[in-house]
């Protein structure tokens, strides 16, 4: 999987009694990768959405476990936008240790009115920023 990549080192507090990263921490890793993706495309969260009248809300998370990370491992959190719909965005995420793919997953967000929480169209500013990043870095939307 190619896409934006952000390095992360596994901390002691993230390891469980089996001496591997506790499964729930991978969602935190997904969030770190997506946060850094927003920063990389020029829309750091939450300021990048200021003035849009809305916010992004997670509606689905999926994690597939292929291997386990351990304390002090350096991981690459790989993030790409898999699709943008009318009101939703899906991120495809992979977590690698060197060349070994440990985790794959998906996080789906819905863009919604900040007050009513009713879905709205994903703003053009977000679509444009994703497209510019894709063009500059050769990343194709799946």
Which CATH number is 96's domain given?
Answer: 3.10.129.10
Task: Specify whether the CB–CB gap between 31 and 95 falls below 8 A.
Answer: no
Residues 7 and 26: their CA atoms lie apart, in Å, by: 14
Domain presence at residue 90: yes
Domain presence at residue 33: yes
Domain presence at residue 69: yes
Q: What is the pLDDT of residue 141?
A: 41
pLDDT surpasses 80 at 87: yes
Residues 85 and 98: their CA atoms lie apart, in Å, by: 33
Rg, C-alpha atoms of the chain: 16
pLDDT surpasses 80 at 138: no
pLDDT surpasses 70 at 140: no
Residue 17's domain comprises 4-137
Domain presence at residue 59: yes
pLDDT surpasses 60 at 1: no
CA dihedral 110, 46, 62, 22 (to 10 degrees): -160
Name the strand (E) or helix (H) holding 35: helix 25-40
Domain presence at residue 142: no
Percentage of residues in the chain with pLDDT exceeding 90?
85
Q: What is the pLDDT of residue 139?
A: 64
CB atoms inside a 10 Å sphere around CB 130: 21
Reported as a single tens digit per residue, the pLDDT across 49-82 is 888 889 999 999 999 999 999 999 999 999 999 9
Structurally, the chain folds into a number of domains equal to 1
21: its two tokens = 């990263």
């Amino acid at each position: 999987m190619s896409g934006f990549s952000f390095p992360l080192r596994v901390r002691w507090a993230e390891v469980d009694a089996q001496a591997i990263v506790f499964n729930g921490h991978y969602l935190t890793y997904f969030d770190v990768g997506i946060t850094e993706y927003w920063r990389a495309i020029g829309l750091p969260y939450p300021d990048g959405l200021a003035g849009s009248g809305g916010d992004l809300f997670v509606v689905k998370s999926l994690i597939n476990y292929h291997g386990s990370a351990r304390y002090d491992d350096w991981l690459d959190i790989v993030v790409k936008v898999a699709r943008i719909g009318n009101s939703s965005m899906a991120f495809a995420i992979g977590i690698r240790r060197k060349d070994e793919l440990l985790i794959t997953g998906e996080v789906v967000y819905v863009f919604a009115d900040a007050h009513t929480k009713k879905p709205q169209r994903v703003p053009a500013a977000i679509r444009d920023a994703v497209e510019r990043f894709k063009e500059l870095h050769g990343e194709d939307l799946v």
